[in-house]
Amino acid sequence: MNKLLFLCTPGLGFLDNVLPLAENLNKKNKVDILIMKGLYNQFRYNPELKKLTEVTFRKKYILGYFNIIFESKVLDLNKSQVFFFSLLSLFKNLLIIIRGTQLKLFLDEYNFFFYDIYENHKKYFLEFVKILEMKKKFSCRHGLGIDHQNYKDRLLIKNTVLLSYSKFQSEFYRKDLNQNSEYKIINIGIPKHKEIWKNKFSNLDFKKNLPFQDYVFLISRHADQRYLPLSKKINIIKLIKKYILDRNIKIIIKLHPKESQKKNFQIYKNIFGRETFNKTWFTSDLHPLTLSKNCLFSISFFSSVCLDVISNNKINVELMNIDTGEGEIPDFSFVKYKLTHFVKNELEFKSFVENFKNDSKKLKTEIKKNYNYVYSHDDYDKDLIDSHNL
């Protein structure tokens, strides 16, 4: 029986996308996970992912302080707990840690590894790269976006199966890789959008204080100096209040994992109104597949969560392209491939809200058609298990 290790990095978005694959592989193999530094903090804001992670993987490991790895049955540890367990593991494994061999000995226990190969570019991952270079690997991107980036040095990879969400992404892989790379590409579409996986979220109850239907799902995002400076984000949130809340349409917000729960929540309080919190607008830690199921439509600045919304046959409207005179106007893949409805100014946003009910059927048909074209997939179950002896 093979032993596989999933390296959860750089965020829980990676985990969200690969969990269906881990569950499938776990039927015939021993499948464990290593949660990289800092990510344990995010589980408390993602209870559904936490629950699915706990039941999917055989063993759960955390990379804690001093680069020490320890096993933990509890995923949503706080910093003090991680520090305590790091010290405990330090004393238990003092000799191999002093020699600097804990990571190698730990990784050598596994036959296959699963992570985002693009993390090889990053400084924090260099120690892993040295050990994993010649080992057998599966890789898929931590985000569902298929935008191409021009790297200074093309990736040189060995013994790697690249899992592609889209045929367009497969083309980008070939552009990014060094000609001496050894790899195979399998097009898998988006595994978490299969009904058998989505049904895992269908029995999870809404929190009692949330509206059950007739609300807008707001996919929040942290400010970005290049595309979404704070001033632009504030101006767009004001538009959302004007055309959604002020028209007596309720909103449920899900903050991005990188957003500060205290700082960013304060922005919404200041604009949406403290006195109406949990009356007309709400925040939730539930999964996007849950929150988009009964929404009227969703709103994003820019997010691959729009694809979760599409999978539930709902429409997302993207506001990043609204020109407020602040920040660059991007050309991201979700607009490029028409996977979301986007507006360029306040008037277009106003028109979308006012005409949504009349236009929704046409918009849904067009966007779902594009989604099916871009994210078509092969039979990845057979490819992964049969072709690689798993």
Predicted local distance difference test score (pLDDT) of residue 209: 78
Contact in structure between 307 and 332 (CB atoms under 8 Å): no
Contact in structure between 229 and 326 (CB atoms under 8 Å): yes
pTM beyond 0.85: the answer is yes
Average per-residue pLDDT for the chain: 87
Both structure tokens of 354: 């006012």
DSSP H or E stretch at residue 62 = strand 60-63
pLDDT > 90? residue 79: no
User: What homologous superfamily does CATH list for 206-374?
Assistant: Glycogen Phosphorylase B; (3.40.50.2000)
Closest by CA to 248, choosing from 217, 296, 215, is: 215
Q: Per CATH, the architecture of 3-190+376-387 is what?
A: 3-Layer(aba) Sandwich (3.40)
Contact in structure between 298 and 314 (CB atoms under 8 Å): yes
Q: How confident is the model over 310-323, as a mean pLDDT?
A: 93
pLDDT > 90? residue 275: yes
- The Cα 264–Cα 173 span in angstroms is 35
The per-type count for the chain, helices as H runs and strands as E runs, is 15, 14
Closest by CA to 252, choosing from 204, 217, 294, is: 217
pLDDT band at residue 137 under the 50/70/90 scheme: very high
Predicted local distance difference test score (pLDDT) of residue 54: 92
- The Cα 137–Cα 155 span in angstroms is 14
pLDDT > 90? residue 7: yes
Closest by CA to 363, choosing from 298, 303, 301, is: 298
Predicted local distance difference test score (pLDDT) of residue 149: 66
The DSSP output letter for 206 is: P
Q: How confident is the model over 290-315, as a mean pLDDT?
A: 93
Location of structure tokens 């830690």:
285
- The Cα 190–Cα 307 span in angstroms is 9
Predicted local distance difference test score (pLDDT) of residue 282: 95
- The Cα 282–Cα 218 span in angstroms is 10
Question: Residue 323 contacts by C-beta under 8 Å, 6 or more apart in sequence?
Answer: 329, 344, 345
Q: How confident is the model over 330-335, as a mean pLDDT?
A: 82
How many angstroms separate the Cα of 45 from the Cα of each of 86, 122, 240, 258, 290? 23, 26, 24, 11, 14
pLDDT band at residue 261 under the 50/70/90 scheme: confident
pLDDT > 90? residue 114: yes
Question: Which segments of the chain belong to CATH 3.40.50.2000?
Answer: 206-374
- The Cα 343–Cα 364 span in angstroms is 16
What is the side-by-side strand order in the sheet with 112-115?
69-71, 60-63, 30-35, 3-8, 112-115, 136-139, 160-164, 183-187
Burial of 202 per CB tally in 10 Å (0-12, 13-18, 19+): exposed
Question: Residue 316 contacts by C-beta under 8 Å, 6 or more apart in sequence?
Answer: 219, 297, 298, 299, 300, 305, 306, 309, 310, 340, 341
> 106-126 burial, b if ≥16 CB within 10 A, otherwise e?
bbeebebbbbbbbbbeeeebe
Predicted local distance difference test score (pLDDT) of residue 95: 55
Both structure tokens of 90: 């330090």
- The Cα 81–Cα 188 span in angstroms is 38
Contact in structure between 158 and 134 (CB atoms under 8 Å): yes
Cα 335 off chain centre by: 18
Predicted local distance difference test score (pLDDT) of residue 256: 86
pLDDT > 70? residue 94: no
pLDDT > 70? residue 319: yes
Contact in structure between 131 and 101 (CB atoms under 8 Å): no
pLDDT > 80? residue 90: no
pLDDT > 90? residue 218: yes
Quick check: helix, strand or coil at residue 3? strand
Percent of the chain with pLDDT over 70: 91
Q: Higher-confidence residue: 145 or 365?
A: 365
- The Cα 317–Cα 303 span in angstroms is 11
Instruction: Output phi, psi for 147, to 5 deg.
Output: -75, 145
Amino acid of residue 117 = I
DSSP H or E stretch at residue 32 = strand 30-35
Task: Identify any residues that bridge with 31 across adjacent strands, giving them in sequence order.
Answer: 4
